[in-house]
Chain A
């Protein structure tokens, strides 16, 4: 981490005695100012009105101290805005990222821009964490679908995450349809019995339409080489960031160490015959590897990559085309601007939604 110039720290101290503390984590003046303001607002909202100003200042100092050590602001304040929702956050569960927010929003908009959607949509979200993806998808989709039949099922291995996801469902009810069909289940997605169970459940009367997942995708190498922020490494659950599966061995190539979940996710998608497959990825390189996996399996009619800001350039733009080192050497369409962020694949019948 580069050293901050003394002059900047002096200026910050001159403005407010607690700013230099926030500087240690924020690294620039505007965000330090914003965080100080949000922390103050938080204290004003939560402190009892009778508490003396000195107590409040002491509390503010404590929170700034925690933040200076790298504790995520979302854990301190207990929440993170996500789309139009407020998602509750707790240590032990991954904090929703703005990239996931944009990805989810864009997916919802893409689905809505294609009117003849099936009357009932079943969405499965694996590694759901706080439940942010199911909740946002529901809140965006239900106002535009006349008779909301949106069933969303979120799965996570962590009991802590599941209890938080249920709290979030309750916390955001005013953004959801009263008869919303959102459920959460604690399960290990590598468990064969679980897969058999969910398969048996669905194949009777209906099929899963969409499988979405933001799985742990940071390779052990990238976790330790400095590309993962200190605050993330020290405070957020490693299980949600770095894949650890029985199949992983340290002799694997360092860069592909983050790919462990994708074959399993694809396997589940194939078993359940889902129509659309959407997974978040770390970067363009990983996106290309996942595209390769999708193509190896066949069965998918189309596949493309979405960047951080998939809406930029518009749906009417054809997007750039990037070569993938797959077996058949075909290219893949990439939409938007920023880092490669998601791989989207679809089966026959869904091409109209995604091929703009």
Chain B
């Protein structure tokens, strides 16, 4: 183990606290605060992984996880970016995608076969002869993919989610972000600041360079961080990566839990009034031969490795940079003890003279207009070749680290996700936003600023703007002062007014002036690649895409970066566009310009999540909510077996016999009780309530008699049945109606939609959840009911199809209906949900002597099928209209004024002889019932079985089917095709419906 700095003031590790974890089966020690990768680096590991395609050795490159170079399996989870995953006690860390080890990978020979694998080679090979493809495919699958996921893996940890609401969310906890948060919070608004690293500070955090006289940048960072964390108006979410941005300033991300947190990771979804994006820049990779060899790393990686983690990346480094931060790092690392072979600067001029002076003082040679062209060394850098930009003169240097960076690129993902359009700026050589989404502001380095003061000032300005965006004016009614108000009366708003916080733009003006006085955006570098042919120069590390591959794709006609991305896979790997995102469009534009077709620099699309996010984290607490009826608990204790039906959980069975013999027979012979609370229940009232009912129901609803139950149906514009249920007139202009369970959620909107132009005066209330329903059915039902009420419930006083309201025990208001869905004497009680348990218990108690038992949804299904009562969705489908179901009697043709939904279609369909028709059937030779969903066929498909059962009540198999109408005649033989039947068929015969109690004496008596 190498010696580490343990006294640097910039350290974010605690060298006194050891973290021991297992690496490839061996114990490995790091310090608290180490990432897995930095701990491994300190332990001498240089080759962390092998690349996807060529199995090239890969090492620590950026420390920010833009590529998969340091992806490993950690605690059974593959593709963990170890460079920014904190090391924890006892972690299991393994290499992935290697045969042998990352250090000695037996698949490394593939790197030499790259000539066989030009861009898109797989589309042009392996398919001839055709028999070869399945064999090849197996090999492709084996070779593809990085990590291994075991099918029975259980992800450890606790995952949570929070949905905070805030005035301003600041993304990025660097100097600009912190200033923005402070400025906004000082205006009195609520602020959340998100920072992906475990600490605030950004690129000030690790730098020893001077911020102001005698104050290094890192001190400034800590000073700002303290202020931010102490501010009561700011909620600080550290170790929180932003992953998505959506309409109306919805920002998502995830936070990694630390010691003492109640979560391992948690999903964070923030709704903000205004957003400040201050996420800074990443380094634009420099492309040269073997530009991803272990030992090649970006400036901030080498610098942070030393300053944050106390590790010198190597003994001797060669710098090839294009930015003053590179020079600063060279000086600082030299001072920390690293030998610097030379600093090659892409720029011919424009360097900060003070930095040049410092370099000269240290005798570090600086070559302006030079760039590294090749890294030598098979697994690790041993030597570097540098050349002039035109490639004419070269020099070699021995070194074991190449610090390489072409410049910077702003992290624009947070902006483009929110809808910003980018343009290429030729001064900064950045993609910068042409327009910003509403109430979104940017600040800091991503705007091209380099000067520390200017970066902070831009943060302050953005913070003030964001605060003003979210402040409501208390004096003049204007929405905000920071932006021109395009809508309506901004007359009142005076630019100098300071009547309230929202309108006080003095601070805004001051911040604008302050920023203006400071240095503006600095010039960026254009260089894309060193002067190389590009066979081993990688534009995308994750997908092993070389410059040569990109050229091949362009030559093949792929001229748009987005298409090249698809064809070469560049930017589609685990790190997405992190490495190639900026270079690819730049290279394509440059290359096309060479061939005489000048093209604009068009960025590829950045998509969420901006940081790869665990599915467990997105799932959070993983609550999928289902509705439960008031009888849920009681039915469960009675042995109910529940199923999810739509949004509900319902008791489908009450025993292991899924044919429900006992339940069915008890309803037919004694009395049963069913929880029907999932039915849609509505009240509609008002002077135009009837008109609305006439519009949506097919029957003439004006004929509903008081005290009677009206069964009817709703159709859609195609005449297809969407709902059926009962309607009761409870008073003048006041109706109560039920819908099927599945339609409960949509009914109010359905009625409103179909009356939207009429201006009718009515109100609707959805009572589905506030009312429960008990269905009491069977020959003994009346006896049970009579026991709990004084109301006369005799057949004369309360006949079939009648409606009554009464009180049970003077307390429970009951809406009672005589219905006959299951074909027996039957009551449906609608009572307030809170009384359901009481009524249920009373009925249960009263019914004891009559053999009362629960029955579930499946028993009901069979009972009603025997009676040929339909269930929508079972005996109907989307295209089934009212007439197809034989429910034409529900359609009143005379009420044309009502413009009943579906009436026109029904009138047209009436003449159509080619539609389906619902029929009842029995099986030939007393055969078994066919399986639901079987087909009715002859030389083609003619229909299908809706529901069929071996009926206990009838002692034979019966069912209903939808068949073409010419087959609906009684006596027609039905040829039934079941799955896996081969050439075997079974046969049924169309019979009259219903099967059970055809004259209805049981349900009416």
Q: Do A and B come from one complex?
A: no
